[in-house]
Amino acid sequence: MTSEEFRKHAHSMVDWMADYLDNVEDYPVLSSVKPGEIKAQFPNSFPEKAEDFNKIFEDFEEKIMPGITHWESPNFFAYFPASKSKASILGEMIMSVLGTQGMVWLTSPAATELEDRMMEWMRDLLGLSNDWTGSIQDTASTGTFNALITAREKASNFQINENGFFRMPKYRIYASEQAHSSIDKNVKIAGFGSKNLVKIPVDENFAMIPEKLEDKIQKDIVSGYEPLLVLGALGTTGTTAVDPLEEIGAIAKKYHLWYHIDAAYSGAALICPEHRWMSKGLEMADSMVFNPHKWMFVNFDCSLYYVKEPDLLKQSYSITPEYLKTDADEEVNNYRDWHIQLGRRFRALKLWFVLREFGAEKLRTIINNHIEWAKWLEKEIKKSADFEMLAPVPVNLLCFRFNDGTMNEEDLNKFNEQLLKNVNATGKIFITHTKLNGKYTLRLVGGHPELTKGHLERAWGLIKNTANDLL
């Protein structure tokens, strides 16, 4: 592709991108293709000859687009949003052409130093104290992995790093029953074993019961285990429940546990001082993760990992082969030592674009609107005779179900499962589910920067109508 061709194709691409953003609500949110349908359209083997880009792009529109689930739609109310903004897209465009590698300061000083600064900006924006420092990771899963590895090395005095787990104590990790599955995955791969992840029961609001935590710790000590780390959720995935971080922190301190906070999603609300009731006790923690790629309008991937003692983290990961040594090593951050990967994208750039193009004020307004509209919908659901709320609404996730009082639990589960399918099959919105106390629960969360109250009103109308039709 010549330079002129690139310019031409990239301009057409921009028009396609802008049109897509304009018309995203016309697509069915959830793709309705059947397994195997997309794959079958592509030949078994790679092409020998170069093809014209226009032809490739036509194929993209015709063959790929029907298999896309539209995470970009404001009517995407599923999982957690991976909502991005136009400023962030512009950031990704520059990243893609520079191809900057930030593994070592020298490989692009600006990538490291803008990241230094962005981690400070974000620390302040989230209302964290100056004790925190950190780096940008790909995902919260690897951020939580960092916490486990660092805790392991601190407790073993870097013995595991050097000698492996051999002759080590049986460590125990604690998290609430509602904690995100990344902790389950991580305790396995970090070598602790899934049996040593102790799930602590939750209260009626799905928040960890601190007394139960202390109970388990005491029993474990008696049984010869070594309590290592406790994870506090600032917003669980199922219901955005907030664990009592202060009480957990006191227990962590008492028993010398590493204290890690998973604020992957709800952390975004901390940019508004009025929601910082959630982070009370967070300052007692040793590490935390927060994903701007979820609800702060930065393209995936962009996850922030903060720690109090960065040297422990660096020591856990550090390697210095000859070919990576530079003269500046003593003066700068070499972020390859802050996570499992070596190569790293220039993620600070898009975060910087978003922070400046929105400004803190506007970001706070949007987050506050999302929360206010969710509380409005909560009231509507509570008022309705046919639906009920199944969890509190600390931020903007609604957990509810159809229940007109005429069905038993089993039938309710079946009905709500079918309701979810029918709602999603309309293509107008996409919602997902969870199970709370055995109840099939509809989960609805809107986090698009251009979400309006109207989107939620229409979603609610659609759900009510679909339930009526199903009855």
Ligand X SMILES: Cc1ncc(COP(=O)(O)O)c(C=O)c1O
Residues that bind ligand X (CB under 6 A): 80, 139-141, 180, 182, 235-237, 262, 264-265, 291, 303, 341-343
State the nearest-atom distance from the C-beta of 30 to ligand X, in Å: 18
Residue 323 interacting entry, from a copy of itself, ligand X, none, C-beta within 5 to 8 Å by type: a copy of itself
Binding-site member from 26, 58, 62, 67 for a copy of itself (CB under 8 A): 67
Smaller CB distance to a copy of itself: residue 90 or 250?
90
Q: Is 18 helix (H, G, I), strand (E, B) or coil?
A: helix
The alpha carbon of 126 is separated from its chain's Cα centroid by a whole number of angstroms, namely: 16
Interaction between residue 131 and a copy of itself (CB under 8 A) = no
Listed ranges 154-162, 205-213, 367-375, 407-415: which one lies at the site for a copy of itself (CB under 8 A) = 154-162
Interaction between residue 355 and a copy of itself (CB under 8 A) = yes
Q: Is 307 helix (H, G, I), strand (E, B) or coil?
A: strand
Listed ranges 66-74, 199-207, 213-221, 405-413: which one lies at the site for a copy of itself (CB under 8 A) = 66-74
Among positions 357-376, residues that touch a copy of itself (CB under 8 A) are 357-362
Binding-site member from 29, 160, 312, 367 for a copy of itself (CB under 8 A): 160
Residue 262 interacting entry, from a copy of itself, ligand X, none, C-beta within 5 to 8 Å by type: ligand X
CB atoms within 10 A of CB 416: 23
Smaller CB distance to ligand X: residue 235 or 447?
235
Contact track, a copy of itself, 240-279, x by CB under 8 A: ----------------------------------------
State the nearest-atom distance from the C-beta of 448 to ligand X, in Å: 16
Among positions 289-328, residues that touch a copy of itself (CB under 8 A) are 293, 299-301, 316-317, 319-324, 328
Among positions 440-469, residues that touch a copy of itself (CB under 8 A) are 443
The rounded distance, in Å, linking the Cα atoms of 329 and 223 is: 45
Smaller CB distance to a copy of itself: residue 122 or 261?
122
Give the CA angle between residues 267, 269, 272 to the nearest 5°.
130
Interaction between residue 21 and a copy of itself (CB under 8 A) = yes
The arrangement of strands across the sheet holding 197-200 comes to 133-137, 303-307, 287-290, 258-262, 226-233, 171-176, 197-200
The HSE-up count of residue 389 (CA atoms within 13 Å, CB side) is: 19
* Separation in Å, CA 315 to CA 14, 161, 231, 251: 44, 9, 22, 27
Instruction: Tell me the number of residues near a copy of itself by CB under 8 A.
Output: 153
Residue 470 interacting entry, from ligand X, a copy of itself, none, C-beta within 5 to 8 Å by type: none
Residue 107 interacting entry, from a copy of itself, ligand X, none, C-beta within 5 to 8 Å by type: a copy of itself
- Name the DSSP letter for residue 60: I
The rounded distance, in Å, linking the Cα atoms of 309 and 133 is: 8
Smaller CB distance to ligand X: residue 141 or 396?
141
Give the CA angle between residues 223, 227, 229 to the nearest 5°.
155
The rounded distance, in Å, linking the Cα atoms of 240 and 433 is: 14
Smaller CB distance to ligand X: residue 156 or 176?
176
The HSE-up count of residue 251 (CA atoms within 13 Å, CB side) is: 25
Interaction between residue 170 and a copy of itself (CB under 8 A) = yes
Residue 20 interacting entry, from ligand X, a copy of itself, none, C-beta within 5 to 8 Å by type: a copy of itself
Among positions 38-57, residues that touch a copy of itself (CB under 8 A) are 38-39, 42, 44-51, 53, 56
With b for 16 or more beta-carbon neighbours within 10 A and e for fewer, the 173-206 pattern comes to bbbbebbbebbeebbeebebeeebbbbbebeeeb
Listed ranges 8-16, 242-250, 371-379, 381-389: which one lies at the site for a copy of itself (CB under 8 A) = 8-16
State the nearest-atom distance from the C-beta of 7 to ligand X, in Å: 30
Two structure tokens written together for 286:
């040793």
User: Pairing state of beta strands 171-176 and 197-200?
Assistant: parallel
Among positions 192-211, residues that touch a copy of itself (CB under 8 A) are 192-196
Residue 385 interacting entry, from a copy of itself, ligand X, none, C-beta within 5 to 8 Å by type: none
Listed ranges 199-207, 279-287, 345-353, 390-398: which one lies at the site for a copy of itself (CB under 8 A) = 345-353
Contact track, a copy of itself, 95-124, x by CB under 8 A: xxxxxxx---xxxxxxx-xx-xx--xxx-x
Residue 220 interacting entry, from ligand X, a copy of itself, none, C-beta within 5 to 8 Å by type: none
Residue 314 interacting entry, from a copy of itself, ligand X, none, C-beta within 5 to 8 Å by type: none
The rounded distance, in Å, linking the Cα atoms of 244 and 451 is: 30
List CB contacts of 159: < 8 A, sequence separation 6 or more: 168
The rounded distance, in Å, linking the Cα atoms of 448 and 81 is: 7
State the nearest-atom distance from the C-beta of 445 to ligand X, in Å: 10
Q: Which long-range contacts (CB under 8 A, 24 or more apart) does 371-377 make?
A: 371/269, 371/275, 371/395, 371/396, 373/446, 373/451, 373/453, 373/456, 374/398, 374/445, 374/446, 374/456, 376/453, 376/456, 377/444, 377/456, 377/460
Residue closest to 390 by CA, chosen among 400, 402, 375: 400
Give the CA angle between residues 69, 71, 77 to the nearest 5°.
100
Among positions 403-442, residues that touch a copy of itself (CB under 8 A) are 432-435
